[in-house]
Amino acid sequence: MPQSLSSDDDAALARRIAAAAPERDKVAEAEVCRRFVPRVRLFGLRRLRSEAAAADLAQEVLIIVLQKLRDGSIREIERLAAFVLGTARQCIVDSRRNASRRERILEAFPVDFPSLVEEGMEHLDSNRLRDCLQGLAERERAVLMMSFYDDHPADVVGIELGLSVANVRVIRHRGIQRLRECMKLDRELS
Amino acid sequence: MSDPGCATPMPLADLLSYWLGEMDQVSEAELEQHFFDCEECSARLARLAQLGRAIKHEIRAGRLSALLPARFIQRLKNAGMRVREYRMQPGGSISCTIAPDDDLVVTHLHAELGNVRRLDVIVDEGEGDVRRLQDVAFDPAAGEVVLFPCSADVRKLGVATLRVELVAVSDGAERALGSYTLNHSPHR
């Protein structure tokens, strides 16, 4: 990808896509996907707690966004990120109301998007992770296991352990900090 | 704008609270707007999510050991994990194993924990290999803690005896709550 494109701001990309219509500026569209698919997938994972549903959401949202860009129907092109987020929120609301609409969109616009949230991220060394987790204090390891097994908030973990919410948060934060240092993720999780 | 540098990076504590669903709606919406705008913070959130998934994977693969509450073991079972469970009273002794189709093997160590402030667990694996696990997490009202060994390590064991002791610690004084003997043999 040319350096100039990856350093373009979102609005410049949006203008390129709109200017190319009815043709497609595939390079600019791919850059929009590169930037926003991981963010929509993260948002979807957090809201839907399902990898498959988050992947579907990202595909649906980016199809809608690219269509709108091609149509020139996004008013505040300088706020593309806000538009993508708003579309993602609306898609979740709509999907609860109308699952068949989502199916129609996905069938009508099959597009290959980046496959993983972690795409481009360095793989975590599982042996190192295990050693680092085992090196934590007993409470820290227990709280991290109970928090991340199925992404439970502090109040649920606190009930299971007979601890206050504040206490769980302190133990969890300390555990994550130590894990971060041990895994040498200081820069990425600062 | 997707700026690779961030002038106001989201604190790690906020990313954690967001990911684990603890924020109120207003704070959540603000954080979402920030990470959609910010390549750096979205990458940090993705890394945190990746770390969380990796921890889950280690649990499911039976590669971690811990002392955990029984309610968490129930969560694992509800999620479809095959858990072999043993239950012991203080002074008890059991014969135990792990079968090929078990995902995990755990032992419920029952004891009177009502007035315990700090709980230590002494694990004696024989031949002088004694470890003291200090200040383990426990629910005083539950009347038990669950020994959750690394299944991968248990599978490698031959015939072995493990002695476990629960110790209440308070103001420098110690009180034995119970000892438990686990006689492990490989599955036949």
What is the average pLDDT across A172-182?
Answer: 95
Same domain, A163 and A94: no
Q: What is the pLDDT of residue A116?
A: 43
Same domain, A10 and A84: yes
Residue A89 and residue A14 in one domain: yes
**Closest chain A residue by Cα to residue B3:** A9
Predicted pLDDT of residue A120? 55
Q: Looking at beta carbons, which residues of chain B come within 8 Å of A138? A: 66-67, 121, 133-137
- Per the structure, the count of domains in chain A is 2
User: Above 70 in pLDDT, residue A3?
Assistant: no
Query: What would the pLDDT profile of B154-179 be if each residue is shown by its tens digit?
Result: 999 999 999 999 999 998 899 999 99
Measured in angstroms, the CA of B35 and the nearest CA of chain A are apart by 7
Query: Looking at this protein, which amino acid is placed at residue B104?
Result: L
Q: Is residue A46 over pLDDT 80?
A: yes
**Residue ending a domain, choose from A108, A138, A157:** A108
- Residue A1: its pLDDT value, please? 43
Give pLDDT, residue A107. 57
* Subunit contact A150:B56, Cβ cutoff 8 A: yes
Residue A86 lies in a domain: yes
What pLDDT was estimated at residue B4? 53
* Closest chain B CA to residue A43: B32
Q: For A86-130, how does the pLDDT look when each residue is reduced to its tens digit (9 = 90+)?
A: 999 999 988 776 666 655 655 555 444 544 445 556 788 999 999
- Tallying the residues shown for chain A, one arrives at 190
Domain end point (choices A79, A108, A137): A108
pLDDT at B34: 95
B21: chain A residues, CB-CB within 8 Å: 46, 151, 153
Tell whether A168 and A102 lie within a shared domain.
Answer: no
pLDDT digits (tens, 9 = 90+) for B86-102: 999 999 999 999 999 99
Domain match, A91 and A19 both:
yes
Mark yes or no for CB contact B54/A172 under 8 Å. Answer: no
Q: Which residues of chain B have pLDDT under 70?
A: 1-4
Domain carrying residue A171: 126-182
Give residue B126's pLDDT.
85
pLDDT given for residue A115 in this prediction:
44
Residues A79 and A130 placed together within one structural domain of the fold: no
Q: What is the pLDDT of residue A106?
A: 56
Q: Please give the model's pTM, rounded to 2 decimal places.
A: 0.87
CA geometry: angle at B138 spanning B174 and B132, to 5°? 45
CATH of the domain at A173: 1.10.10.10
In this prediction, residue A2 carries a pLDDT of 46
> For residue A159, is it within any domain?
yes
The answer to whether B44 contacts A124, with C-beta atoms less than 8 Å apart, is no
Fold of B62-184: Immunoglobulin-like (2.60.40)
Produce one character per residue of B95-129: b if its CB has 16 or more CB atoms within 10 Å, e if not: eebbeeebbbbbbbbbbebeebeebbbbbbeeeee
Distance, in Å, from the CA atom of A92 to the CA atom of A186, rounded to the nearest integer, reads: 34
CA triple B56-B61-B64, angle to 5 deg: 75
Q: Average pLDDT over chain A, rounded to whole?
A: 86
In percent, how much of chain A has pLDDT > 70? 82
Q: Looking at residue A14, what is its pLDDT?
A: 92
Q: Are residues A19 and A80 in the same domain?
A: yes
> Do A63 and A150 have their domain in common?
no
Q: How confident is the model at residue A6 (pLDDT cuts 50, 70, 90)?
A: low
Strands (E), chain B: 66-68, 83-88, 93-96, 104-110, 118-124, 130-133, 144-148, 160-170, 173-184
A96 falls within a domain? yes
List of chain A residues whose C-beta atoms are within 8 Å of the C-beta of residue B121:
138
A144 to chain B: which residues are within 8 Å by CB?
55
Q: What is the pLDDT of residue B1?
A: 44
Where exactly does CATH 2.60.40 map onto chain B? 62-184
